[in-house]
Chain A
Amino acid sequence: EAQVTQNPRYLITVTGKKLTVTCSQNMNHEYMSWYRQDPGLGLRQIYYSMNVEVTDKGDVPEGYKVSRKEKRNFPLILESPSPNQTSLYFCASSSPGLGDTQYFGPGTRLTVL
């Protein structure tokens, strides 16, 4: 089944404790991206990647890191999480071409205390 998976689905952590949210897709998509969803703000793009070893900042990259060492994986790293990073995070993938559709993961709900 074609899908995007994220782990963990739920995470409660404390300020300053490094964490990684994994994202993996099995559709051989070139493009991958991370979004955060906050009430009243909708979806905001954090980072995106157009291919292996190619990443770029989105609209709200501060406090986040990403890497793209393999085509299928695009982990999101929070080196020192803070409470303002409490949010719902989505990973998405797509393939270039005519009007590529994004496929979204199920989301990771992160709470930073």
Chain B
Amino acid sequence: AQSVAQPEDQVNVAEGNPLTVKCTYSVSGNPYLFWYVQYPNRGLQFLLKYITGDNLVKGSYGFEAEFNKSQTSFHLKKPSALVSDSALYFCAVRATSGGSYIPTFGRGTSLIVHP
């Protein structure tokens, strides 16, 4: 079975400060890892993914995430937050082999960036 934990329901950060949204995962074998963002009244949009290779993945809107195999984590980061980054963020995982090949999502973390 595969699962994702996003330990924080909400993250608050001031505009211009760095932000981190945490994600840990559990999966048999090697993972594919994803981050998606949901703006109010919208569907989910893809941000970035880890498949293999470099542990630091860069994605849309200046976001990046670091894959840490030993800690089974895939935290989302951005060096300087914008008010427009305020949204709901979802981490997702799926196994690279076996299983349903459909990702399992975390509960989501609400990011609030204060002016």
**A interface residues with partner B (beta carbon < 8 Å):** 4, 31, 33, 35, 40-45, 48, 50, 56, 58, 90, 92, 94, 96, 98-107
Contact = CB atoms under 8 A, between A and B. Distances in A.
A104 B45 contact: yes
A104 B44 contact: yes
Given A31-B101, A41-B107, A48-B102, A99 B90 contact: no
A106 B107 CA distance: 19
Given A43-B90, A99-B32, A103-B46, 13 more contacts: A42-B90, A43-B44, A45-B105, A58-B100, A96-B101, A98-B51, A101-B46, A102-B36, A104-B43, A105-B43, A106-B42, A106-B43, A107-B43
Contact of A99 (B51, B104, B108): B51
Interface of B: 6, 9, 32, 34, 36, 42-46, 49-51, 90, 92, 100-108
Nearest to A47: B102
A45 B90 CA distance: 14
Contacts of B104: 45
Contacts of B46: 101-103
Contacts of B36: 102, 104
A48 B100 contact: yes
Contacts of A31: 101-102
Q: Which has the most chain A C-beta neighbours within 10 Å: B9, B36, B106?
A: B36
Contacts of B34: 99, 101-102
Contacts of A92: 44
B94 to A, nearest CB: 9
Contacts of A50: 100-101
A90 B49 contact: no
